Structure 1
Amino acid sequence: GRVSIASQNNIIVTGNLLLDGVSAGATPSGTSVTGLVAANSVVLEHPVRCTATSSGSCTSWANIDTSSTSRYVYASIQTLQRSFWVQSYNRGAQLGTLNVYGSIAQKWRGIVGTGSSTGYLKNYRYDSRLRFQAPPYFPQWTNAVWSGRTTGEIKSTY
């Protein structure tokens, strides 16, 4: 089906977000689309626990859920004020690959990992079906009118 989820604050994604009839890792097809629109952030949950302390501060973290290393999100994601990111991206062991099939529009680029030691590596793929088939009630940014207001030449100082 087609669905949009909107929030005045954050949207927390706690597992894989798959489309009806589409297996994790498969190219999306059919008419099912999902939209996530958050006034603040869309956050992928990544719970961790402290495993060692020193002087009252945690010095070592472990992933609580170790059953899966990769995540799949099939959605068109819009964050109006912040970004799409992973909770505790810099704690625990490396998580594998974050696979996003859809689109991401965010005010700031969100952090999902640190490269090779913690968090996720990225595998982002645009879902070309979104060019003509947006999620229901999804904000339309293509209707904006753009025009030049000031023109001129900046002279070189060389």
Structure 2
Amino acid sequence: MKNRFRWSIVIIALLSGIVGIISRNYANMFKIEGFGLALEGYLLFASITLGFFGTCISILASFINTNIIQDILQTKTYKYDFILIAGVTVFTGFFSIVLTIIHQIMIVNTSLSIEFQRNINGLWSFLAVSYLLYLSLFIVVAFFIFLRAGETDEVQAPIITKVRTDPFSKK
């Protein structure tokens, strides 16, 4: 997860920003017929993948005793990159879901100013694209961890210091 993933985070933010600006300035998604259904689909997809993301984090937590995870947690750059990727993915996923719900409300409420709608549209586009790209980056990083952990490391056995011979004793 060296510096290439840090650059990926910056590149994803720039690409998403460009998409958000283009969407805000040139695409009025409120006029597109069927856009409400697309928002419902995105809301479902983002909710499911955010749950998948949580599952991946818990699976990685179950591998906490493997040498590769210990290496990641002990190496500052790896730990920082992994936490940054996970945090940005959760942030963009959660707020893209919230903005999707706001977007759906705005489709029904036609009395809002077009400028406000365009701003929300650009921000939603930025967060939706960011979430999809950061989730992809996280999946790539997780697979690197899983593949490396599966090839080279065994789970460390706990150290037992005292063994009781009588399971019913109160010692």
Structure that is richer in strand per residue:
1
Is the pair's TM-score, using the shorter chain for normalization, greater than 0.5? no
Between the two structures, name the one with larger relative contact order (CA 8 Å, sep ≥ 6): 2
Larger radius of gyration: 2
**TM-score of the two chains, using structure 1 as the length reference:** 0.24
